[in-house]
Structure 1
Amino acid sequence: MELIVYTLNSFAKTEDGGNPAGVVLQADGLSDEEMLSIAQQVGFSETAFVQESEKANYKVRFFTPNSEVDLCGHATIATFTLLKIKKIIEDGILCQETKAGILNIEVHNDKIYMNQNTPEYFNIIDKNEIADSLNITQNDFVSHLPVQIVSTGLKDIMIPIKSLDRLLAITPDLEKITALSKKYNVSGFHVFSLETKFDSTAHCRNFAPLYNINEESATGTSNGALACYLYNHGIVNKEQSSELIFEQGYSMQKPSEILVRLKIDKNKICEVKVGGTAIIKQELSLGKPIFPSVILEEKRPRQKP
């Protein structure tokens, strides 16, 4: 049996920007162990596996190199961009079954928007504990904003930093971040500044070493949660929330742009959508045997849709 893994860069601001994801379109015959093995050898932060669903248009499962996660924003953007390019789907509203629930997908031209869960707000965390893991001081935080766990599908710690220069200069202690991620049962740290390069809503960095992701260049779920955090703490208003723009990946030389739309009803967030574009980079052939040894061979040169 031969399978194809497509690699795409999601949320790419430039040709070399964005966050790479793998996508397998026909994954119904794969076991959990096989999907994990494929994700390990593809080597990206997430690989998406598309399966048939009795509850939605598609079931999509997401694997990091060391475990399955409930949801992945950039891999979702990659998946539905690929389905659109392959003319398997057309513009309109679809839905995907994930371990975070059944979520709507909006396909419109070259942009894909995915619905996330409405926000949940959790612990406010002592800034001293976070400062130690990021090798910063109390003076580096935005004083009037909390360090807080927020989720629109995956829990992350939102960490407000006073200036863009200080944000870009952070050298994290990955072992301490891993320990705190375990302690608070979160995916990782989403660190941001309201100072930006291109008049965006926020500039972000994301650290998730618990999942073998030391830093990620574009994180859909985390920016969805950040948009909700910013609305909840009065940083953005209802009018601004209809199209928020988040910068990420510049510290990695992978410029990325993530779009977030919030729908507000009676001052409460009732819908969260994260969107962006993706660029096909490669089509890879999976040789036999699929498991336990997966061989990746480049089948076609990188290409743009």
Structure 2
Amino acid sequence: MKLKVYTLNSFAKSIEGGNPAGVVLSADYLTDEDMKKIAGIIGFSETAFVMKSELADFKVRFFTPNEEVDLCGHATIAAFYTLSSQGYIKPGKYSQETKAGILNVEVMEDLSIMMDQNAPSYYEIIDKEEIADSLNITIDEMLEDLPVQIVSTGLRDIFVPIRNLDILNSIKPDFEKVTNISSKYNTIGYHIFTLETLKGSNAHCRNLAPLYGIPEESATGTSNGALSCYLYKYGKIKPEHDINISVEQGYSMKKPSEIIIALTTQGKEIIEVKVGGKALNLSETEVEI
């Protein structure tokens, strides 16, 4: 059986930047094994499969080359950009049924995509020594006033604050240890970041998810949504009702990416998280399974 797969780069800051994703439209007839096989053939960190839904405008499932994940930010951007560019939808507000819940997505007039994430949940604070060892760094190379903590706006990640860009870019992780720790704490992986940036953003980061077959990812929507909430919680973002944040990622992989996050607060609580960006380089390929 042959089928069409769209490929494109989400959160791209430039033509060579962004995070590649695959998108399969009208995927209702595919089995779980089919979807896993297609994701493996495409070989990107995630491929989105768009289906009919009785609960939302669309149902979207996300597969890495190894297994299914509940939600993927950059593949959501890719899916809705593809739906729009292929004439299935127009600029406006839509909903997607995912394993992380029903989430809203907005297609802007310039075809940038903003997606809703869950309100943040803050979990365990992890001993810095354990994390530093797995990254082959010392505790002194981490920011002293921020914890290593698990946070989620849909997917659990371990957030690791690093002192500066030079240290962040020089980190050579022990991927076996990162995998084992990610599994131990039931997380997707590590989101390591510094507040020192290249382009005047709020943070510069790298994302490691070897447990899911992704040594490093160039742009992660779900992780940066949670990172923004973490930074707000610990006073690194000025408290306002509407907060706009930008995060740099992918530069260490020569895939410059920009992720835009919008937080809405009520009192001290974050009540709404939106993450988005643009997609570039849409193309079609044919896969046989």
TM-score (norm 2): 0.98
Q: For each residue in 1:48-106, what CA deviation from the matched residue of structure 2 results, as whole angstroms up to 9, or x when unmatched?
A: 00000000000000000000000000000000011111121111110000000000001
In structure 2, what residue type is equivalent to 1:62?
F
Partner residue of 1:169? 170
1-side partners of 2:115 and 2:90: how far apart?
15
Q: Is it true that 1:231 corresponds to 2:232 in the alignment?
A: yes
How far residue 282 of structure 1 moved from its aligned partner, in angstroms, is 2.1
Could you say which residue in structure 1 is the equivalent of 2:62? 62
SS at match of 1:41: helix
Is the CA contact (8 Å cut-off) linking 1:231 and 1:241 kept in structure 2?
no
**Equivalent in the alignment of 1:17:** 17
Q: How does 1:80-159 map to 2 (within 5 A)?
A: 80-109=80-109, 110-159=111-160
Q: 2: distance between equivalents of 1:96 and 1:153? A: 14
| Counterpart Cα distance in 1 of 2:15 and 2:286 | 23
Partner of 1:279: 280
Matched, 1:78 2:90: no
Q: Separation in 1 of the partners of 2:227 and 2:46?
A: 20
1:201 aligns with 2:202: yes
Cα distance in structure 2, aligned partners of 1:241 and 1:233: 17
How far did 1:2 drift?
3.4
Contact residue 241 and residue 266 of structure 2 kept, 8 A: no
Q: 1-side partners of 2:282 and 2:274: how far apart?
A: 25
> 1:3, 1:26 within 8 Å by CA — same for their partners in 2?
no
Secondary structure of 1:242 counterpart: strand
The equivalent of 2:32 in structure 1 is 32
| CA RMSD, 1 decimal | 1.0
Give the fraction of aligned pairs with identical amino acids, expressed as a percent: 61
- 1:256 and 2:261 equivalent? no
TM-score scaled by length of structure 1: 0.93
For each residue in 1:230-283, what CA deviation from the matched residue of structure 2 results, as whole angstroms up to 9, or x when unmatched?
001111023396210000000000000000000001221000000000013420
User: What is the letter of the counterpart of residue 94 of structure 2?
Assistant: L
C-alpha separation in 2, matches of 1:281 and 1:102: 26
Deviating above 6 A after TM superposition, structure 1's stretches of 4 or more consecutive aligned residues are none
State the match for 1:179 in structure 2: 180
Give the aligned residue type for 2:218: S
